Structure 1
């Protein structure tokens, strides 16, 4: 997870009265199509071109005119995430496609990638008349099963990690730490869609909000990572946090089956996983104490590739050039990662502090080469 995680909104709607939201203003139609909402983000505003759209495929055309990196989300009223796009740099534009049903939503811009963001209420009306390709329904069902399997397989590994922590066995806990995170990293966008679980289990130290206490409010894997590798000791507080980690991940396991999953959320989630790699793993910030970043890196890529492969039959039919490029870039990135592990099936990766700057640059370039075409996958599956 990057420093902070927040739900954002995209939507459209039967313009009911616009709820006043500081810094959000409504603009006239952009003329970019009935299903397109233009979002102009600055350091203190989140302007949208319309607050009402029809149900079905909706596209956010986002431009960051501010000086800070921003994020844009489409959110349900309870802050669950419909879709998101992170790390939108100053002066850049991105387009995000999502599927939305009739109802109330919010579009949120998050300058600086912290806080609740600047939000605009929107309404989605009517019902989509388009019939979804049955192959996409099959892809969603298969991905839902995959996500549940990853959660089910994670809990026993976390329990092994937690037992070692509670036993005070430092070496056993270190050995169990990275394997306990693989299933989570493969399917993190699903967990993040709930809004409340990710900050409990995967928050980094610099992700705490203003006013939060480091010892009281920081929980989860990375808090225990710091105790194991930096503090080099396990306290009674660590043992309490270990028990809490199991409870929080059991909550995740129980909720995976209720997640809102669509073909576009799968495609956007694949892109989010590559963003996770670019902003946390390649930089070495994610596992700053254990240096197990390449384990997370590989799991993120595997999760993204699983979504892609499930959506590929439809995407290939709609945009063969795109799938050809994605096949090429996934293969290139996987080949590059294989250089850093003991064999092609193990998760025994080189400690990331042993990876030099030139090699990190090579990994970063390969991630970026894949992320660019992957950002177009959602649009390809709803053509």
Structure 2
């Protein structure tokens, strides 16, 4: 595969993370397209073209009359969904969607032949009006109104004559589409909890035996197993904090209380603590891992979060591993970033059947992930990972740039795989 073009997605070395392990779910957007929660972007192109976003304005009080010049006024209600639009020429369209009902609603402008969504607004409040801007080619279209706690209503079909080409569209991904992905990923995590238990037991035995050299050798393989499981952290609950919590700032670790998990053991192993002082932290780490292994079969992943997690894994990597704020002495941030990349790719493998026809930039994303992997692997020599602090400025910039561009290209995955109502 040829090397991808250099992209603009560089992440500065001191960039703050927007989330990470166990962070609350949120919609993520590419650089330059950050939007408030009330605004939704439709983000995909079917069959070709670059990723694009159609963004829509905030609710405002209804001050327009139907006869006013400007946007086409379209009603949103169960009894008159889509009324007010009777035809148009191909090209840019501006609709003023007015909710005349007594309940909030989502509104989609759909292709009646394929079901693809050309424009989408969430949470349109009763009495409010919001603009939708789209580019339409020749075809048949209809507004679909999805009131809260009520069935969808499809408005009249409007046919536009002209060339088929138009703006970006998204074939909706539903909860039903994502359930098989979630089940497959849950099984993969099950296998990882078993591997994690075995690796952590090796670490514990080395500490119990007083062999700190062996413990240091066993720490990284165990930790990297957990780092590959990033898309499931939110489902781990309190176990995540006990196993791999963010912990205090490295400079404050010596006096920190409630400092547990892999990073607590890491700090002791690389800061001269005795085996006796590390037996308690290692025991608690092993116990937390075993508790996760035993409880995981009863947990259920939220299918609607999988696309978001695919984006968040590397987004968190940029703000934590690449800044060195999670290095408690082992100097293995680059190795952790590589494990995070593995976790991202595993989830993308499962999501790929949904993305292939919806995300035209998927091959470009693959190319950037390959490039990022090649960059990171270049700092693994003779079984040793180069510490972040020993990398030169250009090497740091190259890692930041590669992961930053990958994060930008992963943002549409989160949007495309955001489960949407169709009925």
**TM-score of the two chains, using structure 2 as the length reference:** 0.57
Question: Partner of 1:8 in structure 2?
Answer: 24
Equivalent residues of 1:277, 1:297 under 8 A apart: yes
Give the secondary-structure state (helix, strand or coil) at the position aligned to 1:294.
helix
**Are 1:165 and 1:238, in contact at CA under 8 Å, matched by a contact in 2?**
yes
Pair 329,126 (structure 1): closer, same or farther in 2 beyond 3 Å? farther
Q: More helix by proportion, 1 or 2? A: 1
Partner of 2:186: 144
Instruction: Give the Cα–Cα distance (whole angstroms) in 1 for the partners of residues 294 and 37 of structure 2.
Output: 43
Unpaired runs of 5+ in structure 2? 1-16, 28-35, 43-55, 59-102, 109-147, 154-171
| Residues 221 and 37 of structure 1: CA distance in aligned 2, closer, same or farther (over 3 Å) | farther
In structure 1, distance between residues paired with 2:397 and 2:37? 43
* Residues in 2 aligned to 1:361 and 1:283: alpha-carbon distance in whole angstroms: 12
Deviations 1:204-225 (A, max 9, x none): 44269x9x99454111111111
Structure 2 CA distance for aligned equivalents of residues 332 and 204 of structure 1? 28
Q: Determine which of 347, 372, 375 is the counterpart of 1:307.
A: 347
RMSD: 4.1
Q: Which residue of 2 aligns with 1:296?
A: 336
Match of 1:349 in 2: 385
Q: Is the 8 A contact 1:263 1:311 kept in 2?
A: no
Question: What is the TM-score of this pair, normalised by structure 1?
Answer: 0.63
CA shift in 2, pair 1:128/1:362, >3 Å: farther
CA distance in 2, matches of 1:280, 1:192: 17
Change (3 A) 1:203 1:127: farther
Q: CA deviation at 1:267?
A: 1.6
CA distance in structure 2 between the partners assigned to 1:146 and 1:284 by the alignment = 29
Q: Which residue of 2 aligns with 1:167?
A: 209
- Distance, in Å, in 1 between the alignment partners of 2:237 and 2:175 is 29
Question: Matches of 2:294 and 2:279 in 1, distance apart?
Answer: 23
Of the two structures, which has the highest relative contact order with CA contacts closer than 8 Å and spacing of 6 or more? 2
CA-CA distance at 1:330 after TM superposition:
0.8
Alignment of 1:228-307 (within 5 A): 228-230=269-271, 232-234=272-274, 236-307=276-347
1:226 aligns with 2:242: no
Residues 54 and 127 in structure 1, CA contact (< 8 A), matched pair in contact too: no
Q: 1:183: Cα distance to partner?
A: 1.9
Partner of 1:328: 367
Change (3 A) 1:4 1:334: closer
CA distance in 2 between counterparts of 1:257 and 1:326 reads: 32
Post-superposition Cα deviations, 1:344-366, rounded to whole Å, max 9, x if no partner, equal xxx74333333222211110110
Distance 1:29 1:369 in 2: 26
Task: Show the counterpart of 1:63.
Answer: none
How many Å apart are 1:151 and its aligned residue? 1.2
Aligned length: 283
- The answer on whether the counterparts of 1:190 and 1:259 sit within 8 Å (CA) in structure 2 is no
Q: Distance in 1 between matches of 2:402 and 2:182?
A: 28
Note if contact 1:225-1:289 (Cα within 8 Å) is conserved in structure 2: yes
Gaps of 5+ in 1: 12-26, 39-51, 58-123
* Pairing of 1:1-383 with structure 2 (within 5 A): 7-8=23-24, 125=149, 132=174, 136-206=178-248, 214-230=255-271, 232-234=272-274, 236-320=276-360, 322-342=361-381, 348-381=384-417, 382=419
Kept in 2, the 8 Å contact 1:276–1:300? The answer is no
| Pair member with larger Rg | 2
Aligned partners of 1:366 and 1:137: how far apart in 2?
A: 31
Q: Summarize the Cα distance change of 1:190–1:30 in structure 2 as closer, same or farther, 3 Å threshold.
A: closer
SS at match of 2:279: helix
Question: What displacement does 1:135 show?
Answer: 5.7
Q: Once the two structures are superposed, what CA deviation does each residue of 1:13-71 show, in whole Å capped at 9, x if it has no partner?
A: xxxxxxxxxxxxxx9977989xx998xxxxxxxxxxxxx9789x9xxxxxxxxxxxxxx
1-side partners of 2:40 and 2:275: how far apart? 60
- Please give the secondary structure, in 2, of the residue aligned with 1:289: coil
Aligned 8 A contact 2:26 2:308 in 1: no
